[in-house]
């Protein structure tokens, strides 16, 4: 959709296990993936088999196979999407479900290119048709009564859940898919699935994810929203919380309603905003570490009780048997062949793990929504998506770092009174601050000891990371008193430095370093603007910056030089800071003349301008480090780099900013000439 939307991480994917594993054995051998008779060809061939069970098993095999990234080009070459598409409308419900599961995994693992290709290959036609059939099937009475009716409804809901996930993935990656969503009236269908939340929260959650995506910057869709649609959303927001799954559902619906704020009558704005932020506040209030430990203990107790019960039953069945009884021949049991449904191919549900995962996902989502609340929707919001993309570290924060007026990473809104009041009334800043702490060591230890629970460690770290990004937005937006006053900001600065220096190898964790350096940059900017003394020493900052400048992430390097610029400009107004200013100046000068990115070079030059713009200590330091001669020598090099590299790597807006830096460099050199003449006269 638009540039200000948050970019989700990959969700748990459809991953069949069981009887179909034998057919996937060849897929584990990477050397066979390139052979013409490899697993992809065999499985795709079986999609046309007359037996529904064979087609189902082939779909399940493909669902597993597509999670191996190297096989994706081969599947594309063999036209897997066009072969799977018709199976979405297969006469067998089991085949429909597994085909949708395979497409769900393909769209989740393949990313933007694969999803766009799926739209090109017209996957939306059978997908929309399937969604319509499922919607009609939920109301159908044309099935046998009692248990068959219930089983039919369950199967239809399972198919709908897989199909909605495919729709969500594709719409998030393709504007054409969103246009088709609008044109085909899919909103009403997805809302119907959302309305099933009292009886099927999993289906409702999938629908809520999809709605949060398609309602973002989609004015055409917003025009079609009816009062009944808003009523469904309101009902879901008011749903009683009987499990963490409902906590996640309400959080996602709150994000959807925030996307709709522009069509909500002004008289209802305050109430709606308050309801949204109340939900987010309640989610963040929960101690996720304690819940994780509690759920793991509950799982352990459940498994222990089940084992004891099974042992008791075995003992009870053995009591009273005589030798004659044991010798007596028992009639052979007739083996009843049971039809295999897709649920048989999935691992057993671990309710405790699901609960813990749902809470962590809800907290992550809540923090992302708060960032959207705090950030404008202008083009500079590309940096939020870059911040969330760990795979692209080369161009992150480019526009933000070269922006005029100090280059804030996230552009703050002039919030309405209602939003501003709700943020503070529900203590959102304090709760975000709390989430920036390292995850509970006890919870991490519990999860690390169990392979099934170990992925939660990363999810806990992700919540911390999102909180750091969110903190940066709040610090840039709210007044000091709403953040707890000067003492709170000083404590926060100390807290951020503790986070950094408690991990000696923090430079290896690019995502973490990028988030925390962004938060620290915004905090120091606010403290400097309000003349609040900083608690990090120059030596601590230099340790951070020397590590950070080695990062491959442009965003980290930009933050590092900006932090030094802020700190140096504060030190320049103080007495006795000569040596620190010289150290900072030499560091920034080296970055400006040696960094390969013009983005970082421009930020380093801006930082030098700030540090040595005024103050007797700064003037003496600039002369002693021979700043003037170094900048004079670098000036023609900088001009040449802009001319040779600019048009190929940077946008017109970025080039405009770089040209402004070039102009400021010329003026700063002239200023330094007068300083040097005065001090050396």
CB 150 within 8 Å of CB 193 = no
Q: What is the DSSP string of 51-65?
A: -HHHHHHHHHHHHHH
Q: What is the DSSP string of 544-567?
A: HHHHHTT-S-HHHHHHHHHHHHHH
Q: How far is CA 269 from CA 211, 266, 533, 579, in A?
A: 20, 5, 39, 54
Q: What's the pLDDT tens digit per position in 96-141?
A: 999 999 999 999 998 899 999 999 999 999 999 999 999 998 876 5
* Residues contacting residue 594 through CB under 8 Å, at least 6 positions apart: none
CA distance 96 to 342: 10
Q: What is the DSSP letter of 375?
A: B
Give the side-chain half-sphere CA count within 13 A for 220: 12
The crossing angle, in degrees rounded to 10, of helices 417-425 and 428-435 is 60
A 10 A CB-CB count for 6 gives 22
Secondary structure in 3-state letters for 489-512 = HHHHHHHHHHHHHCCCCHHHCHHH
> Please, is 649 exposed, middle or buried when counting C-beta atoms within 10 Å of its C-beta (0-12, 13-18, 19+)?
middle
Q: How far is CA 328 from CA 321, 325, 331, 523, in A?
A: 11, 5, 10, 82
**Residues lower than pLDDT 70 in the chain:** 1-37, 140-150, 317-349, 376-415, 502-508, 681
């Amino acid at each position: 959709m638009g540039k200000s939307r948050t970019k989700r991480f990959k969700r748990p994917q459809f991953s069949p296990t069981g009887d179909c594993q034998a057919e996937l054995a060849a897929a584990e051998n990477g050397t066979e993936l390139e052979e013409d008779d490899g697993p992809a060809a065999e499985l795709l061939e079986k999609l046309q088999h007359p037996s529904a069970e064979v087609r189902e098993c082939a779909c399940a095999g493909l669902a597993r196979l597509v999670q191996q990234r190297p096989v994706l080009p081969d599947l594309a070459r063999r036209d897997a999407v066009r072969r799977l598409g018709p199976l979405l409308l297969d006469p067998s419900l089991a085949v429909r479900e597994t085909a949708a599961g395979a497409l769900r995994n393909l769209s989740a693992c393949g990313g933007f290119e694969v999803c766009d290709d799926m739209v090109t290959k017209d996957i939306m036609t059978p997908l929309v048709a399937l969604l319509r059939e499922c919607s009609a099937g939920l109301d159908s009475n044309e099935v046998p009564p009692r248990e068959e009716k219930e089983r039919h409804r369950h199967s239809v809901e399972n198919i709908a859940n897989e199909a909605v996930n495919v729709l969500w993935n594709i719409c998030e990656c393709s504007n054409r898919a969103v246009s088709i969503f609008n044109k085909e009236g899919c909103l009403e269908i997805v809302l119907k699935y959302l309305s099933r939340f009292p009886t099927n929260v999993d289906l409702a959650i999938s629908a809520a994810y999809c709605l949060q995506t398609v309602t973002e910057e989609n004015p055409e869709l917003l025009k079609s929203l009816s009062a009944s649609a808003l009523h469904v959303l309101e009902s879901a927001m008011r749903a009683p919380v009987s499990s963490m799954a409902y906590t996640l559902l309400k959080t996602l619906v709150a994000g959807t309603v925030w996307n709709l704020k522009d069509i909500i009558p002004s008289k209802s704005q305050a109430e709606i905003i308050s309801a949204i932020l109340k939900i987010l506040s309640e989610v963040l209030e929960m101690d996720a570490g304690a819940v994780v430990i509690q759920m793991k203990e509950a799982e352990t107790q459940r498994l222990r009780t089940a084992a004891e019960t099974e042992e008791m039953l075995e003992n009870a069945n053995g009591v009273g048997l005589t030798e004659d009884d044991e010798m007596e021949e028992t009639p052979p049991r007739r083996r009843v062949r049971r039809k295999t449904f897709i649920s048989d191919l999935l691992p057993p549900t671990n309710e405790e793990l699901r609960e813990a995962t749902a809470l962590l996902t809800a907290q992550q989502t809540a923090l992302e929504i708060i960032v959207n609340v705090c950030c404008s929707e202008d083009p500079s919001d590309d940096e939020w998506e870059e911040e969330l993309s760990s795979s692209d570290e080369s161009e992150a924060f480019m526009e933000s770092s070269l922006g005029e007026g100090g280059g804030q990473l996230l552009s703050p809104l002039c919030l309405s009174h209602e939003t501003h009041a709700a943020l503070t009334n529900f203590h959102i800043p304090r709760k975000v601050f709390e989430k920036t702490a390292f995850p509970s060591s006890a919870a991490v230890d519990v999860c690390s000891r169990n392979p099934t629970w170990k992925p939660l460690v990363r999810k806990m770290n992700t919540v911390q990371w999102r909180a750091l990004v969110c903190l940066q937005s709040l610090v840039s937006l709210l007044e000091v008193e709403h953040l707890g006053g000067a003492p709170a900001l000083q404590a926060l600065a100390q807290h951020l430095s503790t986070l950094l220096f408690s991990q000696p190898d923090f430079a290896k964790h690019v995502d973490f370093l990028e988030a925390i350096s962004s938060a620290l940059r915004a905090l120091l900017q606010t403290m400097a603007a309000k003349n609040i003394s900083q608690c990090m020493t120059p030596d601590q900052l230099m340790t951070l910056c020397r590590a950070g400048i080695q990062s491959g992430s442009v965003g980290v390097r930009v933050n590092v030089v900006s932090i030094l610029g802020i700190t140096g400009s504060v030190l320049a107004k103080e007495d006795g800071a000569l040596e620190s200013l010289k150290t900072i100046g030499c560091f920034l000068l080296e970055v400006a003349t040696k960094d390969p990115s013009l983005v970082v070079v421009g930020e380093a030059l801006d930082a030098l301008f700030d540090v040595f713009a005024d103050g007797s200590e700064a003037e003496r330091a600039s002369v002693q480090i021979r700043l003037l001669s170094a900048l004079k020598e670098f000036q023609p090099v900088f001009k040449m780099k802009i001319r040779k590299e600019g048009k190929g790597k940077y946008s017109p807006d970025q080039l405009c900013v770089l040209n402004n830096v070039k102009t400021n460099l010329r003026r700063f050199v002239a200023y330094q000439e007068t300083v040097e003449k005065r001090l050396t006269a």
